[in-house]
Structure 1
Amino acid sequence: MLSETRGSAEGDKGVAGDKGAAAGEMPAKAGGVKIALLLPESKTARYESKDRPFFEAKVKALCPDCQILASNANQDASQQQAQAEAALTNGASVLVLDAVDSASAAVQVVKEYDTPDWSPDKAQDEMTQALIALNNQVDGVYAANDGTAGGAIAAMMAAGIKPLPPVTGQDTELAAVQRILLGEQYMTVYKAIKPQAEAAAVIAYHLATGKPMPTDITGGTTVNNGKKDVPSVLLVPLAVTKENLKDTVIADAFWTTEQICTAQYAEACKAAGIL
C-alpha cells in the first residue's frame, strides 16, 4: 500500500506494505493486474484534475494491460474503508491511498475549527463567527487548504477588514494562485503533484507485478512507521508566494499563464512580472 499524509506541508508518498511476489515466487504477469487508487475528496480540485490523470497516465505507460480501480471517498473515512475493502475483494494487488484522516499541525491559535468536508462555505461561516468573537482583531489565518482559505478570506472581506492578514493555504488551486496575485492570500503549499503521482504509479506497478523495485526510486530513503523502516519517496513541498509563483507553478506548467492571467487578473500578473 502507498500513502500520502496530508498535513501543513510535510510528507508525501511512502511504501507502507504490498502484496507482491513472495521470495522464490514468480513475479505476477502484468496482464490483469489491478491497482487501486483511493482519493480522499473531490472538493479540492487537484485530486480529480491532477493526481488521478497523472497517476493513471503513468501506470498505463508502464503497464498498458494493468487495470486501475479508482475511487473517491468524498471526505468520508468509513466510505474510504469500504472502498479499500471492495478494491481488495475485486483483486487489487496494491492500494495507493491518500487517507481522509490525517494528523493536523500543532499551532497555537485563538479560535480553531474542524471544517466539515473542507467546505469553503462552512469555513466562511466559521470565520465570521471568529471575527465576531474577536471583534475583528485577527493577525493571521492558518488554513489547511485553499478552499478553506478562500472561505476565510471571503468572511474577512465581507467584514471590511483592511488590509487582510496573512492567510495560508495548500494544494495550489487556481483560485488561490489568483488570490495570491491580488494580495488576498499570502501563500499556498505547492506539491509537485505530477512527479508525486508518477512515483506512486512506478512503485505500484512494481509491487503489483512482483518486479524488483528500481534502486533509484527511493534513493535508500526510509520512514519509520512505528513498526518498521518503510522505503519511501519523499518530495519537498514549497511555499508559493507572489514572488516565486512564476518560477514554480508556471515553470512546472501546473497552471499556465493563460489560465491564471485572465482579464480580471491581468494587471496583477503584470505587476508580478508574469505578463
Structure 2
Amino acid sequence: MNAALRRIITGAMAISLAAPLAACGNGNDDTGAHQESVGLLLPENKAARYEAFDHRIIESRISTLCLQCTVEYRNAGAQVDVQKRQFQALVKKGVKVIILDPVDAQAAKSWVDEAAKKGVKVIAYDRLAEGDVAAYVSYDNEKIGQLQGKGILDALGSQAANADVVMLNGSPTDPNAPSFKKGAHDVLDHKVHKIVYETDVPEWSAAEAEKDLKTVIKDRGTAGFDAVYSANDGMADGAAAALQSAGMKDIPLGGQDAELPALRRLVNGTQSFTIYKQVRPEAETAAEIAFRLLRGKSIASFTSTTADSKSKTGIPAKLFKAQIVTKDELKDTVIRDGVVPVDWLCTKDVAAACKSLGLD
C-alpha cells in the first residue's frame, strides 16, 4: 500500500470513529464538549455495601445522567489522613462536586470549608460531615436506633422487663453512631431491666466487638446478660462469634445494614434481626443532586427536609426510612428487591433452614 492511499484510509477511519463519539456528546442534558468529574469518597471497605452497592449505583446513575461525566472514586480504608489527601487531590484537580461519606465527620470540617470557599459543592452522604456542605443524603438515624431497640424488645418478648442487655455502639468518629445510640436508648431504657455493659467500638470493628463481648462473658458468666445490641451487622458478626465460642445459644442479637453474612445468620437463628436500608434510592438521589449541582440547577425537588450539624444549620437534606427485617421478612424485602439472590443466601450450610422459610 502506498503512502497516499494509507493516508486516505487512515483519515477515513478517524472520521468514522469520531462521528459516534461526537454524537454521544449531545445526550442527557449535556451541551458542552469537555469532560466533567464528580468526586466520590467512601469511608471504608469493611462494610460490604460500599464497594458492592454505593459505588456501583452512584457511578451508574451519574453516567446515565451525564454521558460526558466521569466519577473519580476513592475509598479511604477507614483512614482519616488518607481521605483528607484524597479530598484535597480532587479539589486540586478541579473537581467541582464531591460526594463525601466521611471517616471522621469533625475532621472533615476544615477540608469542606476550604473547598466551599473555592466553589466546590460537597454532598454529605450517609454520614453528615461538618463544615459548609451543600446537601445531605442519608437515613433518619435516630429512627433507625429506635427500630433496633424495638427489634431487641421483640426478640426478648415477655422476658424483656427482666432482661439485661449489652450494647455495642458504633464508632466514636461516625456522626451517625450517637443517633443510633440515642434512638436505641429511647426504646430500651425503662423497658429492659438494665444495660449491664455499653461501649463505643472504634471503626465499627468486628474484631473489637468480639473482644469486648468475650470480656463481658468472662466477667459476668454465660448467664450474665440476655441480649446484645450491635449497632451494625459487621460488629454483630464479631458478637455472634463470641457467643458461639462460649456455647451461648438463643441470645437475641441485632444489627444493621442487611449484609449477606447477617442475612445468613437470620436464617440459621444466630442473629435476630437486621435493619434494611435500601441503598439504591439513597445512592441514586446523591447522584441526582451531584449532577444538578454540577449544572447549577436547583436541588429543591430532591431535598424534602433540612438537617443541622454542629457547624451549619438548614442543610438541604433527604432522609429515607428504614425497616426491621427478621427471617420471616427476608422474602418480602431483600430478596424481593433483588439485593440478595436466593442462591447467594441459601448456601449448603443453611439450605434446610431456607427451605423451612420457603426460600428454596
Q: Normalising by structure 1, report the TM-score.
A: 0.83
Aligned to 1:57: 60
2:219 and 2:33 map into 1 onto residues whose CA distance is 59
Q: Give the equivalent residue in structure 1 for 2:238.
A: 151
Q: Is 1:43 aligned to residue 46 of structure 2?
A: yes
Deviation at 1:144, TM superposition (A): 1.7
Counterpart in 2 of 1:102?
A: 174
- The CA distance in 2 between the partners of 1:196 and 1:30, in whole Å, is 30
Q: Which residue is 1:15 aligned to?
A: none
State the one-letter code of the partner of 2:244.
M
2:201 equivalent in structure 1: 115
Matching residue's letter, 2:174: S
Q: 1:75 to 1:222 in 2, by over 3 A?
A: same
Distance 1:80 1:111 in 2: 33
Secondary structure in 1 matching 2:96: strand
Question: Which of residues 191, 216, 219 in structure 2 aligns to 1:130?
Answer: 216
Q: Give the partner amino acid of 1:208.
A: L
Asked if the contact 2:226/2:252 (under 8 Å) is kept, the reply is yes
Aligned residue pairs total 246
Tell me if structure 2 keeps the 8 A contact 1:33–1:209: no
Task: Tell whether 2:53 aligns with 1:32.
Answer: no
- Distance in 1, Cα, partners of 2:254 & 2:281: 23
Aligned-residue CA RMSD in angstroms?
2.1
- Where do 5+ consecutive residues of structure 1 fail to align? 1-26
Kindly provide the amino acid, as one letter, of the partner of residue 98 in structure 1. Answer: D
Query: How far did residue 29 of structure 1 move?
Result: 4.6
CA distance in 1, matches of 2:52, 2:33: 27
Distance 2:202 2:305 in 1: 35
Q: How do 1:1-275 and structure 2 match up within 5 A?
A: 29=32, 31-100=34-103, 101-103=173-175, 104=177, 105-106=181-182, 107=185, 109-136=195-222, 137-163=224-250, 165-213=251-299, 216-218=301-303, 220-225=304-309, 227-275=312-360
Offset at 1:141?
1.2
Deviates more, 1:95-104 or 1:27-36: 27-36
TM value normalised by structure 2: 0.64
- In structure 2, C-alpha distance between the alignment counterparts of 1:162 and 1:181, rounded to whole Å: 14
Q: Contact 1:30–1:63 (CA<8 Å) still a contact in 2?
A: no
| Runs of 5+ consecutive residues of structure 2 not aligned to the other structure | 1-29, 104-172, 190-194
Give 1 or 2 for the bigger CA radius of gyration.
2
Taking the aligned partners of 1:95 and 1:126, their CA distance within structure 2 comes to 36
Q: Is residue 257–residue 274 contact of structure 2 (8 Å, CA) maintained in 1?
A: yes
For 1:117, the aligned partner's letter is E
- The answer to whether the 8 A contact 2:196-2:225 is kept is no
Q: Does the 8 Å CA contact 2:39/2:90 hold for their aligned counterparts? A: yes
Following TM superposition, by how much is the alpha carbon of 1:28 offset from its aligned partner in structure 2, in angstroms?
Answer: 9.4
1:111 is paired with a residue of what secondary structure? Answer: strand
Q: What are the Cα deviations for residues 64-120 of structure 1, in whole angstroms up to 9, with x where unaligned?
A: 211211111111223222222222111121121112232322347322333343332
Q: Deviations over 1:187-239 (max 9, x none)?
A: 111110011111100100111122343x5423x32224464322222111111
Deviation at 1:169, TM superposition (A): 1.0
Counterparts in 2 of 1:138 and 1:31: CA distance versus 1, 3 Å? farther
Percent of residue pairs identical: 38
Letter of the 2:329 partner, please give it.
N
**Higher percent of residues as helix:** 2
CA distance, structure 2, for counterparts of residue 94 and residue 28 of structure 1: 18
With over 3 angstroms needed to count, the CA separation of the structure-2 counterparts of 1:29 and 1:225, relative to structure 1, is farther
In structure 2, what is the Cα distance between the partners aligned to 1:192 and 1:232? 17
Indicate conservation of the 8 Å contact 1:190/1:239, yes or no.
yes
Per the TM alignment, residue 259 of structure 1 is displaced from its structure 2 partner at its CA by 0.9
| Separation of aligned partners in 2, 1:225 and 1:147 | 26
Equivalent residue number for residue 18 of structure 1: none
Residue 17 of structure 1 is matched in structure 2 by none
Distance 2:78 2:33 in 1: 32
Does the CA contact (< 8 Å) of 1:59 and 1:205 recur in 2? yes
Helix, strand or coil at the partner of 1:141? strand
- The secondary structure found in structure 1 opposite 2:227 is coil
Structure with bigger RCO (C-alpha 8 Å, 6+ apart): 1
